[in-house]
Each structure stands twice: as structure tokens, then as C-alpha cells.
Amino acid sequence: MSTPLVARPQVPPRRPRPSQSQRAFAERTQRTLWRRRLVNRVMVVILGTAAIVATLPLLFILFHLVKEGASAISLDFFTRMPKPVGEAGGGLANGIVGTLILVGVAAAIGLPIGVGAGLYLAENGRTRLANTVRFLSDVLNGLPSIVMGIFAWQFLVRPIGHFSALAGSVALAAMMIPMVTRTTEEMVRLVPVALREAALALGYTRWRTSLTVVLRTATAGIVTGALVAIARIAGETAPLLFTAFGNQFWSVRLSEPIAALPLQIFTYAVSPYDEWHALAWAGALVLIALVLLISLAARFATRARFGGMGD
Amino acid sequence: MTDDAAVEAPVTLRETRETSAASPARLDTHALNAYFGAVHAIKDVTLALPDRRVTAVIGPSGCGKSTFLRCLNRMHETIPGTRVSGRVLLDGADIYAPGSNPIRVRRHIGMVFQRPTPFPTMSVRDNVAAGLRILGKDTPGKRETDAIVERALQRAALWEEVKDRLGASATALSGGQQQRLCIARALATEPEVLLLDEPTASLDPLSTQRVEELVYELRRDMTVVIVTHNMQQAARVSDMTAFFLSGEMVEAAPTRALFTTPADQRTEAYITGRFG
């Protein structure tokens, strides 16, 4: 491996001078090279360390969860209800199903609204309404999740008079909407104007162009954004505290309080019982596995070559 | 190459559509003006575009030739803040008349852009069929669509190259193939007029040649208007040439006459390369 000399125009000596100055020059060049190599090494080590440290928390958490929680995971964990304190065994079937229902309903509410709003923002970006919506949606995105819970409590729990799965889903959907709105807008904006014009020139109406050409071209990106949003709300605890509330028993009804994994993890983790601690660890492990699975699905969705073609 | 284009597609299924092309289509502009906000981009252009001929529109960058083309199928108005006045007659009917539907106009006047614009989520076949799907109750069935797609691809001299991968993504084709795909897509709905906006500007010389040969073939059954930067191209493919300069149409004449004995000094200056 030969390193080329530092590119410096070699000025021919005006007078035939002894090689002393030349030697000095070569020495200086060598020293500069040395310094550059050293700086390069040091920087690579520093940045590499930062990169590793950035992923350490995840590795650490995973390691810990597997160590503490894996023993509690069995078929029972997924199929059985929690047992009263003191009895061995039992699972978190209600929490797992509850989380799936909560997230599913939240996605059913949040996705159409988020994608619709994003499409509107991308297509009518300069109107005053669009600017307002964009700003508010950014504010909403930064709002603490517990505030979403309070919002849902105020509008759904209090008027109805009791906690419900629906209220929890609405709180989660409210968290999801701004995320989906902004990613949809970004993705739709990436679709070239030329494509839109090509569709219009073929005699497509404006809405048809938006739906069949623009939205479809942006689908992979939108799906990824949606899955990331779903993964994020799946682990939320705060918005559920006084909306879905949690439920010790089996319930799949939207109008009743419903169990949720994050809530159960919280309850079990702060309890004084060892069996419950194990369940909390296992619950956390399952939750992370779920999020990981969704992230992988997002990866897969972006890689899909061209969106499933019809007829 | 030309052999492909000359291959006659099975005509049986197409008979009904052919009849409409029998009545001569012709495009006329009368005192056409176009604006971008306050900018007067097209000034009082009156021009008759002869049927079954290729008309080339030449002129320096920013002279309004693309805008003029976009006025012919009402694409200009899709840009916010733009305005058009004057008349554009397609077979004697003003496409800007109140009650005239721009969507319908665009189905009769096809357009191909400077850069190839295949729909990336669609296969080769579905790209060509894209214009057929939106015809409402006139949308042909699957078998008829297949026949139309084959015919359109043959007219665009692309059939031989893609017949074995009609289901592949359109983005897998080369740039030149993509452009011919876009031409096939525009041809599938059998428009009376085809507008080409610098169709070879982003293509290599070989692909350019193919598209030019194609344009030359198309004049047999339709009116073609081609905007081009390239005067040699205008001379090669067109029957008539219109020269535009800062929004005005300076001169329009049979191509040979315009290039050999231009009537206007500005035209002569431009074609002899003194500016632009």
C-alpha cells in the first residue's frame, strides 16, 4: 500500500542549491502525513465508538429482557389469563389480545385520517389551511403522550361515564395521526410532477391522478411510515392510563375497559411479587418482539419492488 | 426498426375505432394568448396545424414553444396562476369553449413529455393500458385491452423488445424504451392529435433516431406536433415548421421553405445560428 505524496507543486529551484532544503521539505511532508494518519485513526475510533454506544442500549435491554423474561415465556403465557397472587403459572393472554385490539382500532381510525390529511397537504400545500394544519400537526407530534390520554378522557371517558377500549384507541390514534400525516406528505411530495402531468395528459381527472398514480407511487413509503407509527404507539402506556385503564379479566369489547401489555407491565413491575415480576419481564420481551416484527415488516415493505399489480 | 413499425397489427378488433379517424382531424389556433400570472408567454398566435402532417415548433429556450404545445391540450391551465385566451379548434370545435371538458380534450389530444414518464408502480402492459382504464363504460375488456396494448406497442416500435416481459415493471426498461412506452401509452386511446414536447431531449442518438422514425410513421394516421430544440430534427421529421421567438410566432411555413428561404430576418438569423 503506497500512499501518494502530498500534492504540492514542486517548484524547480532557481539556483542549483544543495539538497538541504529539499530534505527539509521531505521531512516536513513526512511529518504532515504522519499527523494526518494519526488524526484519521483517532477520529475513526471516536466515531466508531459512538456508533456502537448508540446501539448499546438496545442490545443491553434485549439481553436483560431475554435473561429475565425468557423463563416465563411458554405457551401458557400467550393462552392463559393472569393468576391471582401466590398461584404459579398464568399468562397475559388478555393483555396481548387487548394491545392488538387497541392498536388495530387506533390504526383503523388514524391511518385513513393521517393519509388523507397528508395527501391534502401535499396537493394543496400553499393554502392557508394547509399551512395551519401542517403547523398544528407538528405541535401535536411533539405533545406529551399523557396529554393525549387526558384529551381522550375528557371527550370520551367523562361523557360516557366509564373507561373503554375505544377511548384508548382514540388516544393512540390521536398520537398516530400527525406522524402518518407528515410522512404521507413527504412521500407524496417525492412523486415527480412529471408523473402527475403524464396522468393528466392521458385524461385522468385530478382526484384520479392523486389516488391511482400519485398515492400508489408513494405507497411503499407511506406503508413504512404507517408501520413505524404503529410500532411507536404499540408500546405507549401513558395515553392508556385513564382511557383503556386495563382489565384483569378477559374482555374484547370496545365499550369496556381493556387490558393492554404496557399497562400490565407497569402494574406487575411495581408489584411486590416475584411471579409478577417475571410476567412483567416476559411482557416487555413480547412487546419488544412485536415492535421488532413491525419494523421488519416496514423494511420489507420498502423493499418490495413495485406495488402489487392488479388484473 | 422501421420493419417493426410497418408490421400491421391484426385489425379485426379495431375496426370500430378506425372509423373515427377517417374524418380529418385538424387543429387551429386563433389569437391564442397564454399567461403565467402577469407574464405574457404566448402572444396572439394564429396557426393551422394540418391533418396527417408533422408540424415542428422551433425556437430558442424560453420562447414559449412548450407553453404553446401545452395550450393545445389544456395542460397549461393545470399550473396554478396561469390563464389562456383565444380559441383552439379541434375539428372546428373550440376546446376552450364554455362547457368543453379538459379531461375529454386530453383524451383526444395525446401528449408525450421531454423525460420518459412511465408509471413506476405499473407493469409495461398496464402502463400502455393506463389511458383505457379511465374510459368508464367504454373501457375495453381484458382481451380487447391486450389487443390494443399489442397494437399500440407495435406502432411505437417497442413490441418486439417487450413482448416477453409485459408483466415486468416499466422502470426496468431503458430510457429510450421508456420514451417509446410513453408514446405507446399515448397512442393506445387513438387520439387524433399527438403532441410531443422535446421527446428526444433526454435520449441517446440511437434512441433519438428510433423516435424520429416513429414520428415519421405516425403522420400516416394522425396529426403530430413536435417541439424541438434541434433544428436538424425539425428538418428531418416535419412537413411544416413554426418558428417562435419571445412568445410570438414569427413565421410558419413548409419545412423545406422555412429552412431554405425564410421570409423573416429573425428566422434566418436563428436557423443560421446567429443566436439561440
Instruction: Give start and end residues of each alpha helix (H) in chain A.
Output: 20-69, 75-79, 93-123, 128-142, 145-152, 158-160, 165-190, 193-201, 206-208, 215-217, 219-234, 261-269, 274-303
pLDDT given at position A16: 61
Contacts with B119 from chain A: Cβ below 8 Å: 195, 198-199, 213, 216-217
Task: Tell which wins on pLDDT, A90 or B189.
Answer: B189
pLDDT given at position A220: 84
Start-to-end C-alpha separation, chain B? 33
Give the C-alpha separation, A194 to B271, whole Å: 30
pLDDT given at position B225: 94
Which range is least confidently modeled, A79-83, A270-274, B27-31, B154-158? A79-83
Give the C-alpha separation, B149 to A178, whole Å: 42
- Nine-digit cell at B32? 391564442
Residues 6+ apart with CB under 8 A from A104: none
Q: Which helix (H) or strand (E) holds B66?
A: helix B65-72
Q: What mean pLDDT comes out for the span B137-152?
A: 87
Sign of CA dihedral A261, A262, A266, A267: negative
Task: Tell which wins on pLDDT, A221 or A49.
Answer: A49
**A1 in B contact zone (CB under 8 Å):** no
- How are strands ordered across the β-sheet holding B248-254? B109-112, B193-197, B223-227, B54-58, B240-245, B248-254
Of B78, B121, B142, the CB nearest to A306: B121
**B79 in A contact zone (CB under 8 Å):** no
Which residue does chain B place closest to A198, by CA atoms? Answer: B117
pLDDT higher than 60, residue A100? yes
Q: A201 and B189 in contact by Cβ < 8 A?
A: no
Tell me what the pLDDT averaged over chain B comes to: 85
pLDDT higher than 90, residue A142? no
Of B111, B121, B171, the CB nearest to A201: B111
**B260 in A contact zone (CB under 8 Å):** no
Tell me the per-residue pLDDT of A178-231, one tens digit each, with 9 for 90 and over: 999 999 999 999 998 899 999 999 999 988 898 888 988 888 889 888 988 998
* Percentage, residues of chain B above pLDDT 70: 90
pLDDT given at position A306: 47
pLDDT band at B22 (very low <50, low <70, confident <90, very high): very low
pLDDT band at B9 (very low <50, low <70, confident <90, very high): very low
Nearest to B173 by CA among B129, B212, B116, B211: B116
Pairing of strands B193-197, B223-227: parallel
Please, what are the domains in chain A? 71-310 (1.10.3720.10)
Which range is least confidently modeled, A113-122, A149-158, A243-252, B189-198? A243-252
Q: Which helix (H) or strand (E) holds B272?
A: none
Contact in structure between A256 and A250 (CB atoms under 8 Å): no
Residues 6+ apart with CB under 8 A from A237: A262, A263, A265, A266
**Residue B29: strand, helix, or coil:** strand
Tell me the per-residue pLDDT of B178-209, one tens digit each, with 9 for 90 and over: 999 999 999 998 898 999 999 998 888 888 99
pLDDT higher than 60, residue B7? no
- Nine-digit cell at A206? 385530478
* Percentage, residues of chain A above pLDDT 90: 26
Q: Which helix (H) or strand (E) holds A259?
A: none
Cα Dmax for chain B: 56
Is-above-0.90 flag for pTM? no
Tell me what the pLDDT averaged over chain A comes to: 84
ipTM above 0.85, yes or no: no
**Residue A308: strand, helix, or coil:** coil
CA–CA min distance B102, chain A (Å): 8
**A218 in B contact zone (CB under 8 Å):** no
Contacts with A310 from chain B: Cβ below 8 Å: 126
Instruction: Give start and end residues of each alpha helix (H) in B156-254.
Output: 159-162, 175-187, 205-218, 231-237
pLDDT higher than 60, residue A71? yes
Residues 6+ apart with CB under 8 A from B231: B58, B259, B271
Tell me the per-residue pLDDT of A277-298, one tens digit each, with 9 for 90 and over: 888 888 899 888 888 888 888 7
Nearest to B48 by CA among B1, B87, B8: B87
Q: Indicate which of A193, A196, A200, A202 best probes the interface with B, i.e. most B CBs within 10 Å of its own CB.
A: A202
The number of C-beta contacts closer than 8 angstroms across A and B is 71
Nearest to B43 by CA among B250, B226, B227, B276: B250
